[in-house]
Amino acid sequence: MLYELTEEEAMLRDMVRDFAAKELEPKAEHYDQTETFPHEHFEKMGELGLMGMLIPEEYGGSDMGLFAEVLAVEELAYSCASTAITMAVHNSLVTGPIVRCGNEEQKQEFLPGLASGERLGAYCLTEPNTGSDAASLEMTAVKKGDKYVLNGTKSWISTAGVSGVMLLFARTDKDAAKKKEGISAFIVTPDLPGLTIGKEEKKLGLRASNTVQIILEDCEVPADRLLGEENTGFKIALNALSAGRIGVAAQALGIHRACLDESVRYSQERHQFDQPIANFQAIKVKIADMAMELEAARWLVWQAAKLRDAGQPCIKEASMAKLFAAEAANRAAREAVQIHGGYGYMKEYKVERLFRDAKVLEIYEGTSEIQRLVISREVLA
């Protein structure tokens, strides 16, 4: 599907590119090496409309849609993938479901703060024993009067340690005929008694993003924090994941493009055998493949985002975009390090960070293996 950016879309892309170059690029290495979460940027991003891209204007959002979010995420990821994924999770996995499934009181209470960037959103699905098999989650929610009492643990939750709003999934019906039919979604805030934030995880990449465990012990969540109807949470989770996967694919585009640009620049500056290494056929082949796969990935990501914005089915397209873009970004990161040689192995060079940041693209929001199962299921249906 051939698509050219409108004037407004190009302006948004250029605005975010300028913000990332000025605000994120100079600090990204420091954030990574010190594992510092970049708190200071998110309210500014809220002012730019980047934290409420899926939120209607009446609740303080910019309501620009998922395609606009894709453009923004790529530009942020080019400079700082940790900031990009925090913003993508916040928009696609938290604000999106509240907009689609929340009642008016929930929207009024939570969306304005999320749109401004004052409150960050976290998506709480994964558990110690349930990753790819999310329908087998073990956290329980038992209704008692006007509250639900939640018990269990969530693991590897992005942004939860610094969030103000969590979209959390728990089992409300242990006896449901199918495991996925007994799950509900809740809007949870970190101030609730019985909710404990665990230690921050030490990660290979995305070291400036916040990843923690959440422990709930007899945590009483008001019944009016139930999102949608009881026992429909798994549908909410899967719907959000389609958008989330497109957001991860956009993150992959930013990392991939940074790998390409760093490789082009270095290969033209680095001389061996009395000439730039860009003159060598082996380097040209690597750069050609990186450039080709970036363009192919971008069209897959853009198509999926456009389908989502149009309200069209996009399960297959979202998985294709996420799978191809993630694997292409990892190939680009490996080749970027190889082109840089020994320098690429040093932390002083950006490609070392890009290499580490790229790996998780093939793991979170559904592994590459899961994406292939989803795609095959849709094709064979």
Known catalytic residues? 365
Contacts of residue 278, defined as CB under 8 A and 6 or more positions apart, other chains included, come to 264, 267, 268, 284, 287
Q: How far separated are the first and last CA of the chain, in Å rounded?
A: 23
Cα–Cα distance for residue pair 370/363, rounded to 1 Å:
9
Would strands 211-222 and 147-158 be described as parallel, antiparallel, or unpaired? antiparallel
**Beta strand spans in the chain (E):** 121-124, 140-144, 147-158, 165-171, 183-188, 195-200, 211-222, 226-227, 271-272, 275-276
Burial (CB count <10 Å: 0-12, 13-18, 19+), residue 133: exposed
Cα–Cα distance for residue pair 291/322, rounded to 1 Å:
18
Q: Which of 329, 370, 362, 286 is nearest to 77 (CA)?
A: 329
Cα–Cα distance for residue pair 239/333, rounded to 1 Å:
30
SS3 call for 261:
helix
Radius of gyration of the chain (CA): 21
Cα–Cα distance for residue pair 67/76, rounded to 1 Å:
14
Sign of the torsion formed by the C-alpha atoms of 315, 317, 321 and 327? positive
Residue by residue, DSSP assigns 55-124 as: S-GGGT-----HHHHHHHHHHHHHH-HHHHHHHHIIIIIIIHHHHHH--HHHHHHHHHHHHHTSS-EEEE
Specify the DSSP class assigned to residue 202: P
Query: Vertex 240, ends 238 and 245: CA angle to 5°?
Result: 90
Beta carbons of 171 and 182 less than 8 angstroms apart = yes
Sign of the torsion formed by the C-alpha atoms of 50, 101, 39 and 80? negative
